[in-house]
Amino acid sequence: MPVRNQTSEHMGGNASGEESADVDWTTDDELDILTDTAISTSPTLTSHGTVAILGSMEASSSGGASCSKLVKHFVGMGFPETLVSKAIEENGGDTDSILNTLLTYSALEESPEQQLGTRSDPASSEYDTLLDDVSDMDSWSEDEIADDTDSMPEKHKLLLSLEITGSLTQEQRKLLSLANMGFTVEDASIAVERCGTDASDEVLADFICAAQMAREEDCYLPIIISKVTRILKKRKLHEMVRRKNDTDDESIRLPNPMIGYGTPSQQPERIHRSLSESSMGPPFFYYENVALAPKGVWDAISRFLYDIEPEFVDSKYFSATARKRGYVHNLPIEDRFPLVPLPPLTIHQAFPLSRKWWPSWDTRDKLNCIQTVIGSARLTERIRTAVERFDGDPPDSVQKFVMDQCRKWNLVWVGRNKVAPLEPDEVEMLLGFPKNHTRGGGISRTDRYKSLGNSFQVDTVAYHLSVLKKIFPNGINVLSLFSGIGGAEVALHRQGIKLKNVVSVEKSKVNRDIVRSWWEQTNQTGSLIDFDDVRMLDGERIEQIINSVGGIDLVVGGSPCNNLAGSNRVSRDGLEGKESALFYDYCRILDLVKCIMARKL
DNA sequence: CGCATTATGAGTTGCAGG
DNA sequence: CCTGCAACTCATAATGCG
């Protein structure tokens, strides 16, 4: 059973990377084996079981005929029946509103002392709790999946009523919190039940997203479920340990200098790493996103990508602009080589003409990160009038204002007292794309800035991917997710790595047109197959793709950063944000490719 | 409707200086 | 240790124009 082997391999990859030699996780590993065995030997029951839970809960909320069922549901959660009927009367069938009302009532009745009283036990019971939790999860995996699904709702209610003490419990507060995050009460209550009441919102949100993602799959559900179970167990352990030690040593920190495992000019003190068995290919994979994401995001990304430590690199070591990004990949890190010719590394090298107008008090050597929008003409006008009032150097206050704005909007000097934002073709050059890569073909100037701002820095990525040249002298098949304007493809091509077939998934039509146009101009011999949406790629389609191209050698892509990026004032919601949650599809697809590739061997 | 233009901070980190 | 300050960030939404 290759599937079973595959899932069993996922264990053990902790930070030290010494695969399965780590004593601390032995218990966890053994549990994994049990879990995985149980799941993989009865795949139909697994999927049936999980979906059945969700399905029955949803049915009880949407079915108008079953009002008593709804009452039972909330009474089972520990609310008084009179309150429940009242809440249902006020809110109709909307379970979210009902819960909100119930929690509000409870909170009003509850005294703060009592709420605090239910929390925080002495430290001695920490590990007892831990053991209980782990065995709970294990019994879920084994028992509930194997059980007849008809008994599930009863068991659910039983567990709930046992755990509820009657007052406003931690669980109820969790449910409210998750409901406020936009999850349904059904999903939230399942997540709380599975993960325990002391799990953080982050853990619970992860669980729900993974469950949602799993719900959409059918034939590969066992794999995903077992993976999620394992991740959650490990995560809980981490949280426990962290709470006990009261330190934040577990969270990922950004390196200084941000050079990852090295740049063409700089090498860190330690340049060795060992990967766990489960993280190795085929396929190789390369994942990218913004380095300065909200707290906890990179911990989550790393956990979902086989616990590989992200490589944080600032592209200012590869070009004249900064670009702080994190890369999670299972590529070798020895014998990397840079793209040639080397790009300009300073502003003056990149823009020789600007030197004439560059004031001595503007000491910038590198530009800041290229974003998706540019500074306004009004701003450059304000700067010009501010500077030209003075004959020599302006006073410190004016210098500070001008420099703040120039750094913020990446402005360069293009004339006497004149600053301006970068032109699109200048951005192309700084990011390592061929000139006019994004020009013409029906794309607007605004969209050019947006597509370029969302792209890779080609020299940086090419340096990391260069190791593939020796491994695949005859070329590679690439699955490119969130391709954008084809940064990965350009990097591989410029590095002299032959592209056999490229399967590209990109939502934006103008971006797909850009990649298609580039593909046809560069005399590629293979074929470019493109898709619109990553969510369309289910197991069946991926298997079809793999059969037709003969295997995927590299899965590459950076998932949307909209909800992670600091520039976003409106919806910086983290990994669960509308667009950024597509990260979970990257994981899902990578796992599918991995499974199918393993089966072919 | 497509396109261009503009205004709109917070969250996080690092660091100097108590 | 703490505290204040400086620096930086793959963006969204509203508006106007043709």
Q: What is the mean pLDDT of residues A398-402?
A: 96
According to the model, what pLDDT value does residue A83 have? 78
Instruction: Give the residue whose CA sits closest to C9 at C1'.
Output: A566
pLDDT tens-digit readout, A96-125: 667 766 665 665 554 444 333 333 333 333
Nucleotide nearest to A482 (CA to C1'): C10
> What are residue A259's phi and psi, to 5 degrees?
-120, 5
Q: Above 90 in pLDDT, residue A46?
A: no
- On chain B, which bases lie within 7 A of the protein's CB atoms? 2-15
Give the range among A141-145, A204-208, A429-433 with minimum mean pLDDT. A141-145
Nucleotide nearest to A297 (CA to C1'): B12
Query: Model confidence at A85, in pLDDT bands (50, 70, 90)?
Result: confident
**Terminal alpha carbon distance of chain A:** 12
Rounded to the nearest 10°, the torsion over CA A62, A65, A68, A73 is -10
Percent of the residues in chain A that have a pLDDT greater than 70, as a whole number: 63
Measured N-to-C along each axis, helices A583-600 and A297-304 cross at an angle, to the nearest 10 degrees, of 20
**Burial status of residue A102 (CB atoms within 10 A of its CB: 0-12, 13-18, 19 or more):** buried
- From CA A227, how far away is CA A233, in angstroms rounded? 10
Distance, CA of A256 to C1' of B15, in Å: 13
Instruction: Give the residue whose CA sits closest to B4 at C1'.
Output: A446
pLDDT tens-digit readout, A169-225: 566 666 766 665 666 677 777 777 666 666 666 667 777 766 666 555 554 555 555
| pTM passes above 0.75 | no
In 3D space, the residue among A13, A582, A486 whose CA is nearest the CA of residue A289 turns out to be A582
φ/ψ bin of A358: left (φ > 0), alpha (ψ from -120 to 50), beta (otherwise):
beta
pLDDT tens-digit readout, A511-522: 999 999 999 999
Distance, CA of A384 to C1' of C2, in Å: 41
- From CA A367, how far away is CA A107, in angstroms rounded? 52
pLDDT tens-digit readout, A335-381: 999 999 999 999 999 999 999 999 999 999 999 999 999 999 999 99
Sequence-separated (6 or more) residues with CB below 8 Å from residue A203: A195, A232, A235, A236, A239
* Contact flag, residue A405 CB and nucleic strand C, below 7 A: no
Instruction: Give the residue whose CA sits closest to B14 at C1'.
Output: A256
According to the model, what pLDDT value does residue A412 have? 98
Distance, CA of A373 to C1' of C13, in Å: 13
* Contact flag, residue A294 CB and nucleic strand B, below 7 A: yes
- On chain C, which bases lie within 7 A of the protein's CB atoms? 7-13
Distance, CA of A407 to C1' of C5, in Å: 17
Q: In which order are the strands placed within the sheet that holds A554-558?
A: A311-314, A324-329, A284-290, A554-558, A476-481, A499-505, A527-531
Kindly report the CA angle at A9 between A540 and A502, in degrees rounded to 5? 40
Q: Is-contact A534 A505, C-beta < 8 A?
A: yes
